[in-house]
Homo-oligomer: A and B are copies of this chain.
Amino acid sequence: MILERIGIIHPGAMGISIAASAQNTGYQVYWASAGRSRQTQERAAKFGLRDAITLAQLCETCQLIVCVCPPHAAEEVAQQVVVHGYKGLYLDANAVAPQRAMRIGAMLHEAGALFVDGGIIGGPAWKSGETWLYLSGPQAQVVAQCFAAGPLGTSVIGENIGKASALKMCYAAYTKGTTALLCAILAAAEELQVRQELQQQWTRDDPEFAQQTVQRVRSATAKAWRFVGEMDEIAATLQGAGLPGEFHAGAANIYRRMAHLKDAPTIPTLEEVLAALLQPRDV
C-alpha cells in the first residue's frame, strides 16, 4: 500500500493543524464537506484541503483516515467509516478511554481495516515542540511518518492499542480535572461567602495563583460542552484501572453546568461563571 492521500474527520481548530502537518510532509489531505458548517468550509478552503464531498468518497479516496472529534462522537464516526467499507488505515486521535479505543480498533479490524490508537496533548499544532500526537499500535510508525515535517510532534509509545489513549486520559485527568475542581471550589466559596478570603490566602501562598485560577475558569467556558464527554472517558479509564472514577464524575457535573456558556458573545466574567455553576439548568 502506497500512502498518498489522507482524510481528516473533521478539520476543526485542532484537526486543521494536524492536516497542515501532513501537507507539510508532502501528503494530499482530503475532507468531506457534506453537512459541515460554513466556518469549517472556510477553514478547509483556507488551508487548501481537497474536498471529497461525502464520507463515502473520503473512504474510497484515502489510505489513512484521521479522526479528530469530540469523544462522545468517536465511536459513531468509526462505525460510519466501517459502513462505507473502508479497508485502509484508521487513526482515532480522540480523548477516549483505552477500553473504547480497543473497541473501536476491534470493530475496524473485523471490517478489514487497520487501526492505530492516538492521543493529542497540547493545543492546535502551529508551533514546533508544543503539541504531541502519541501513537500506539503495530502501524503506529507508518502514521508517525505522515507528520514527520511537523510542527506536530509524534511519539510512538508501543504496540498495544489503548496505550496512547491511556496516556492522553491520565494527562488530561490532571489538567482538566483541576480546572473543574477550581470551578467547584470558587463557586462553593462564593456561596459560603469566603471567596475573597480564599483568594487572599491563595495570594499569600503564590502572588499569581489567584489570578491564574480566574483565567483558567473563564477560558474553560468555550470548551466545557465537549469536556463533559472527556471527563466521562477519564472516569471510565480510572475505574477500569481499579481507581476511583468520582473525581471526574464531579468534573463532568461541573462542565455540564458550564456547557451553555459556549454561546456567550464574549468570554464570561468569573462572576457569570460562578452564577451558572450555582444555578444549574435542567440538562
Contacts and interface: CB of A to CB of B under 8 A. Distances in A.
A169 to B, nearest CB: 8
Most chain B CB within a 10 A radius of its CB, from A155, A182, A197, A204 = A197
A188 B241 contact: yes
A160 B254 CA distance: 28
A170 interface: yes
Given A177-B181, A181-B173, A189-B166, A246 B243 contact: no
Nearest to A200: B155
A187 B240 CA distance: 12
A47 interface: no
Interface in A248-283: 249-251, 253-254, 277-278, 280
Report whether over half of chain A's contact residues are helix, strand or loop; otherwise say mixed: helix
13 contacts: A132-B204, A160-B193, A170-B189, A170-B194, A171-B201, A173-B184, A178-B178, A181-B181, A184-B243, A187-B242, A243-B277, A244-B249, A246-B247
A158 B197 CA distance: 11
A38 to B, nearest CB: 35
Interface in A170-204: 170-171, 173-174, 177-178, 180-182, 184-185, 187-189, 191-194, 197-198, 201-202, 204
A229 interface: no
A192 B166 contact: yes
A245 interface: yes
A114 interface: no
Contacts of A191: 241-243
Contacts of A277: 243
